[in-house]
């Protein structure tokens, strides 16, 4: 595919997604500005990210620190207002680098990671905003704090990090109706007075918006299937 075609395709996809977000907000009686689109660029080359930046997109998500570090610090020189979220399960030994490069870590899910983030933030001289990831389906292979422990862990995290804890994130089990999971997260957010809910991906972001998502993480529908 020529660069021009790739640019056009990504621009058109972004416009279509923004349009669908606006309409989902209308149906839910919400303001479109209350929902931000996280463009998930994992496995896609830096050229695809640049195409999205050229189309006005500024907020991106990556699930591996190494890969994010190879793309984004360079792009920040040209686009100082870009924002990067780490959205994948985070190893403790990657926490320091995540603190250095990310504006938000969406995957805080255990005390050992809180320790590493605290240390990493001291080293980096900056602490990103944080979301607590909840394993709403209690799936053994998935990161996220188990449902049962989610309230206690969120409270402890709020004590530790204060207002840097912005909200909650979840990835519902594949092949299940996601709405009960989105609703669980929404109610949890209300209990803790947390404004940010990161939920909804290419296949279900409109349902997430109906349940008050404020961040939707969309990859495939913008960049195509992952190489």
**List of residues contacting ligand PLP (CB under 6 A):** 40, 42, 63, 87-88, 171, 201-203, 217-221
Q: Report in angstroms how near the CB of residue 159 gets to ligand PLP at its nearest.
A: 26
Query: CB–CB of 177/195 below 8 Å?
Result: no
Closer to ligand PLP by Cβ: residue 11 or 202: 202
Closer to ligand PLP by Cβ: residue 155 or 202: 202
Q: Report in angstroms how near the CB of residue 32 gets to ligand PLP at its nearest.
A: 19
Closer to ligand PLP by Cβ: residue 89 or 155: 89
Closer to ligand PLP by Cβ: residue 186 or 217: 217
Closer to ligand PLP by Cβ: residue 150 or 222: 222
Q: Report in angstroms how near the CB of residue 122 gets to ligand PLP at its nearest.
A: 27
Q: Report in angstroms how near the CB of residue 41 gets to ligand PLP at its nearest.
A: 9
Q: Report in angstroms how near the CB of residue 89 gets to ligand PLP at its nearest.
A: 9
Which of these, 142, 198, 140, 145, lies nearest to 167 by C-alpha position? 198
Closer to ligand PLP by Cβ: residue 120 or 172: 172
What CA–CA distance (Å, rounded) separates 87 from 39?
Answer: 11
Q: Report in angstroms how near the CB of residue 193 gets to ligand PLP at its nearest.
A: 24
Report CA dihedral (44, 49, 50, 55) to the nearest 10 degrees.
130
Closer to ligand PLP by Cβ: residue 146 or 224: 224
Q: Report in angstroms how near the CB of residue 169 gets to ligand PLP at its nearest.
A: 8
Radius of gyration of the chain (CA): 17
């Amino acid at each position: 595919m020529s660069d021009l075609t790739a640019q056009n395709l990504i621009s058109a996809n972004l416009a279509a997604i923004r349009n669908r977000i606006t309409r989902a907000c209308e149906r839910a009686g919400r303001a479109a500005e209350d929902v931000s689109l996280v463009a998930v660029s994992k496995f896609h080359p830096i050229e695809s990210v640049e195409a999205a930046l050229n189309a006005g997109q500024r907020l991106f998500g990556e699930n591996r620190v190494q890969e994010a570090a190879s793309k984004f610090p360079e792009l920040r020189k040209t686009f100082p207002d870009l924002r990067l979220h780490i959205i994948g399960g985070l190893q403790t030994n990657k926490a320091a680098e995540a603190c250095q490069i990310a504006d938000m870590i969406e995957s805080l899910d255990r005390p050992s990671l809180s320790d590493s983030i605290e240390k990493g933030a001291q080293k980096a001289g900056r602490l990103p905003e944080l979301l607590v990831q909840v394993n709403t389906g209690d799936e053994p292979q998935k990161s996220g704090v188990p449902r049962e422990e989610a309230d206690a862990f969120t409270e402890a995290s709020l004590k530790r990090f204060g207002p840097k804890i912005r909200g909650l994130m979840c990835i519902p089990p594949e092949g299940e109706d996601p709405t009960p999971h989105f609703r669980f997260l929404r109610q949890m957010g209300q209990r803790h007075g947390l404004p940010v809910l990161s939920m909804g991906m290419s296949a279900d972001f409109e349902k997430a918006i109906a349940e008050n998502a404020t961040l939707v993480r969309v990859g495939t529908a913008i960049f195509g299937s992952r190489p």
